[in-house]
């Protein structure tokens, strides 16, 4: 596949990716190389990476606990301390091998350690390939509030190898598929049509959509690197979706959601809001709901949960002066940014989802 050029770095694919990394390592004098993993990517992905790289690389391994609940400053401190103990300096390289938690957190760690060391991202989940692979966002959560602490920092390069998807449980494939569907609904309807043509959810089907999904995100973020305008389109489904994800993460009596499962709820509810605010056709809202519920089983939300979910919207990073902003659709791939929505409509959208 053709490399995708982003702001000062390239996203390289499959065999070409490892060749590009080998060339980079031979041409760049790094004092030490570190690979950041969690216990899952250490077991299933690190052996693949080491095998592909061969004798070219002999890194120190730094491991953290897997899971969104460890995406915080405490874990950053653990990694900073590990880098210090292992003798990292400003000429060191950190390779982040894992899903979005690893690439987001690892990017923040690298960008701040000794005021910045080089890093490379190798996303190993579908979600991190199509979402976190480009855009230069790094960050960690503050309590259950997602990505509240972070900065923009670009990697040296990104490697995309779909072989890592073979290590994923199906629910993680579904989680990443939600971001592809988001691109389809808000930006390029051909992706939505492709997903609807699937006879089954398989890696071979999904692989065909990865390059175009990254291409779309790259088109957006290179146009608007700091989310002043167009980049906000990437938030479709994420305003209510993130609030729901945070609410379930904080709840002691609810099962934690995958990111994609929460964003699916966000896309259904925000499609309903799109109908109410911008006249998005109701038959298409119903079609979106039908198709997404076939992929993401309905989650256990009741009206008792609404108040706390809606309270979490106040902390959304996209808000300005306390006003919650939504990306809404007037048609497939036709969007309006910074839409204001009455609280009563938010409850009605959640009612529509649970009905």
Distance CA 36, CA 103 (A): 9
**For residue 314, what pLDDT is reported?**
77
Phi/psi for 119 (5° steps) reads -145, 155
The answer to whether residues 191 and 338 belong to one domain is: yes
Specify whether 304 is located in the same domain as 286: yes
pLDDT computed for residue 317 by the predictor: 58
- Laid out side by side, the sheet with 60-64 consists of 4-5, 10-13, 157-160, 118-123, 93-98, 33-38, 60-64
Task: Tell whether the model's pLDDT for residue 27 goes beyond 80.
Answer: yes
User: Are 148 and 83 found together in one domain?
Assistant: yes
Identify the weakest region by mean pLDDT among 112-121, 173-182, 243-252, 282-291: 243-252
Arithmetic mean of pLDDT over the chain: 94
Q: What was the pLDDT predicted at 213?
A: 97
pLDDT value of position 302:
95
Q: Which of 172, 153, 145, 148 is nearest to 45 (CA)?
A: 172
- Considering the domain architecture, whether residues 182 and 133 belong to the same structural domain is answered as no
Residues 9 and 77 placed together within one structural domain of the fold? yes
Q: Report CA torsion sign: 106, 150, 209, 265.
A: positive
pLDDT at 35: 98
What is the arithmetic mean of pLDDT over 38-63? 94
- Residue-level pLDDT at 5: 95
Same domain, 121 and 186: no
Mean pLDDT for the stretch of residues 146-151: 93
In Å, the largest CA–CA distance within the chain is 61
Give the DSSP letter string of 261-314.
HHHHHHHHHHHHHHHHHH---HHHHHHHHHHHHHHSPPP---GGGHHHHHHHGG
| Residues 102 and 9 reside in one and the same domain | yes
Q: Is residue 179 domain-shared with residue 128, that is, in the same domain?
A: no
Considering 167, 189, 204, which residue would you say is the last residue of a domain?
167
309-315 long-range contacts (CB < 8 A, ≥24 apart) are 309/240, 309/243, 309/244, 309/247, 309/350, 310/243, 310/343, 310/346, 310/347, 312/144, 312/145, 312/242, 312/243, 312/246, 312/247, 313/239, 313/240, 313/243, 313/346, 315/145, 315/148
Same domain? For 197 and 321 the reply is: yes
**Same-domain check for residues 37 and 71:** yes
Tens-digit pLDDT profile for residues 64-77: 999 999 999 999 99
Residue that terminates a domain, selected from 142, 167, 192: 167
pLDDT digits (tens, 9 = 90+) for 169-227: 999 999 999 999 999 999 999 999 999 999 888 898 999 999 999 999 999 999 999 88
The mean per-residue pLDDT over the stretch 140-164 comes to 94
Taking only the tens place, the pLDDT of each residue in 260-307 is 999 999 999 999 999 999 999 999 999 999 999 999 999 999 999 999
The domain boundary, picked from 118, 145, 167, lies at: 167
pLDDT at position 38 is: 98
User: Domain total for the chain?
Assistant: 2
pLDDT of residue 44: 95
Q: Domain range spanning residue 145?
A: 4-167
Shared domain check, 45 and 63: yes
Q: Return d(Cα 326, Cα 317) in angstroms, integer.
A: 12
Is 151 found in the same domain as 135?
yes
Q: Which residue has the tokens 């073979």?
A: 166
Per the DSSP assignment, residues forming a β-bridge with 60 are 34
For the domain that residue 126 is a member of, what is the CATH number?
3.40.50.1970
User: Which pLDDT belongs to residue 200?
Assistant: 86
Question: What percent of the chain clears pLDDT 70, i.e. is strictly above it?
Answer: 98
Q: CA 187, 286, 349, 273: dihedral to nearest 10 degrees?
A: 40
Q: What is the CATH number of the domain that holds 222?
A: 1.20.1090.10
Inter-residue contact 324 to 341 (CB < 8 Å): yes
pTM: 0.92
The pLDDT of residue 319: 61
User: Using 50, 70 and 90 to split pLDDT, how confident is the model at 321?
Assistant: low
């Amino acid at each position: 596949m053709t490399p995708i050029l982003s702001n000062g770095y390239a996203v390289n694919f499959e065999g070409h990716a490892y060749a590009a990394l080998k060339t980079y390592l031979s041409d760049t004098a790094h004092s030490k190389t570190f690979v950041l993993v969690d216990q899952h990517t250490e077991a299933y992905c690190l052996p693949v990476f080491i095998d592909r790289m061969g004798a070219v690389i002999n890194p120190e391994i730094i491991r953290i606990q897997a899971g969104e609940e460890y995406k915080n400053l405490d874990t950053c401190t653990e990694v900073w301390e590990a880098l210090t103990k292992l003798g990292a300096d400003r000429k060191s390289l950190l390779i982040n091998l894992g899903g979005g938690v690893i690439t987001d957190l690892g990017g923040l760690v690298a960008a701040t350690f000794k005021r910045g060391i080089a890093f490379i991202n190798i996303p190993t989940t579908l979600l991190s390939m199509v979402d976190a692979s480009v855009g230069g966002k790094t960050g960690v959560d503050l309590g259950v509030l997602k990505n509240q602490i972070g900065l923009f920092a670009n990697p040296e390069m990104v490697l995309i190898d779909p072989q890592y998807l073979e290590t994923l449980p199906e629910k993680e494939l579904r989680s990443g598929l939600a971001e592809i569907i988001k691109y389809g609904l808000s930006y390029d309807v051909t992706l939505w049509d492709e997903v609807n043509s699937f006879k089954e959810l398989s890696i071979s089907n999904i692989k065909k959509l990865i390059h175009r999904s990254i291409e779309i995100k790259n088109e957006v973020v290179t146009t608007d690197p700091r989310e002043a305008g167009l980049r906000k389109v990437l938030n479709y489904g994420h305003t209510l979706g993130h609030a729901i994800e945070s609410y379930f993460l904080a709840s002691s009596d609810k099962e934690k959601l995958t990111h994609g499962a929460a964003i699916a709820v966000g896309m259904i509810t925000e499609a309903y809001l799109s109908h109410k605010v911008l006249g998005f056709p109701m038959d298409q809202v119903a079609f979106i709901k039908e198709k997404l519920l076939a992929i993401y089983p309905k989650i256990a939300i009741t009206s008792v949960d609404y108040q706390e979910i809606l309270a979490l919207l106040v902390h959304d990073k996209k808000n300005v002066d306390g006003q919650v902003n939504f990306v809404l659709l007037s048609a497939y791939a036709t969007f309006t940014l910074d839409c204001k929505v009455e609280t009563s409509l938010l409850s009605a959208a959640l009612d529509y989802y649970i009905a």
